[in-house]
Structure 1
């Protein structure tokens, strides 16, 4: 049996599929949905919706993807983008159902308390991206970030003493370091919210 020539049967990248789907190529859209259907269903499934709501959330996620695929900043991070869209669709369904449902349903019955496997994977990817971005900071800002975020309640006086920085310069230095981190993470395709 002859194996297929890899140059003629190469699997297109996610970025290429996104571009093709934006250009209205149906085969690209079919391939994207095939690749990411499991992820979308897993995210929606973690919300323990009723069967009809589950189907609506999955369908609405793909509808939003079709409508907004052109707005994806980093097509190689499509999985994270779809995860965010699916979560928002689930939360919107839950919000609507709370307005319509009787008040006897407890919140803990609506949403899974423990993160699902996809959330754990995404959290680990984000943790690695942040750790990598921190290692790329210049030495002093990197040391400051590590000192401030290695303890739950950092003591500025102690950090000032350890690093030999005036207390008044810690806040501005911290802000510059976090701004640099945000830019680096955004370039790496991580969804970064300003804090």
Structure 2
């Protein structure tokens, strides 16, 4: 039997890839996670505004997807299905955090400097070229400006302008009407205009770098978790 190459997996339909993912096929897990890491991370960050927590949501999303893979029927794209899982996971963590805070002493306060440090966690502790890019003032300004948006505006803005989804795709991922997406986008842009200079807006395409060793590390963790440490087949020459 001829061994399949990575390019073969890349050509699989969503249903074929999902079936192999559910069968713990290491290359299927590798291709699936490599393909969706960035979007899931950005959606999770859009809700939680914390890099470490967003990474954890991505990992949990793959675990939950694996456990529920038989429920995937292809009615929506695999990407949309995974995005919904990530959104639900991140929102669940937000609700849990609010419940914990509600139990705290009513007189307790949040250290603003500590909050800002956590918000930027992951930006300054990466090695290599990605770290050099992350510490630039432009990225910090962009992340803080977007983090300041209400969550419903933040999600549509990230999916539409950072991930490049169409209005219809954003509506499907968030399970809202296209008209609602357009309204939230308009309001998000108006708010951002108050904090971003015109020349900074052109830098959005370079924000939230998520590639190289960073992306590979999440993929390796997912393969180890789902496939029980099986080695990933070699890539195409």
TM-score under structure 1 normalisation?
A: 0.51
Shift of 1:59: 1.7
Question: In the alignment, does 2:24 pair up with 1:21?
Answer: no
- Confirm or deny: 8 A CA contact 2:15 2:73 kept in the other structure: no
Partner of 2:11: 12
- Could you tell me which of 125, 136, 142 is aligned with 2:169? 125
Shift of 1:8: 10
1:43-90 deviation digits (Å, cap 9, x = unpaired): 112114333322321221111111112211107701110111010001
Instruction: Please say which structure displays the higher CA radius of gyration.
Output: 1
Give the SS at the match of 1:46: helix
| CA shift in 2, pair 1:70/1:98, >3 Å | same
Gaps of 5+ in 1: 1-6, 129-195
Q: In 1, distance between residues paired with 2:153 and 2:30?
A: 33
After TM superposition, list the pairs within 5 Å mapping 1:165-180 onto structure 2: none
Q: In 2, distance between residues paired with 1:127 and 1:96?
A: 26
Shift of 1:40: 0.7
Partner of 2:153: 113
- Confirm or deny: 8 A CA contact 1:49 1:110 kept in the other structure: no
Q: In 2, distance between residues paired with 1:63 and 1:110?
A: 28
- Confirm or deny: 8 A CA contact 1:61 1:82 kept in the other structure: yes
Q: Aligned Cα RMSD in Å?
A: 3.3
Q: Give the length in aligned residue pairs.
A: 120
After TM superposition, list the pairs within 5 Å mapping 1:92-111 onto structure 2: 92-101=92-101, 111=151
Partner of 1:73: 73
Gaps of 5+ in 2: 111-147, 173-237
| CA shift in 2, pair 1:86/1:31, >3 Å | same
Give the SS at the match of 1:47: helix
TM-score under structure 2 normalisation?
A: 0.43
- Flag the structure with more relative contact order, 1 or 2, with Cα contacts below 8 A and sequence separation at least 6: 2
Runs of 4+ deviating beyond 6 Å:
none
Give the SS at the match of 1:81: helix
Shift of 1:111: 2.8
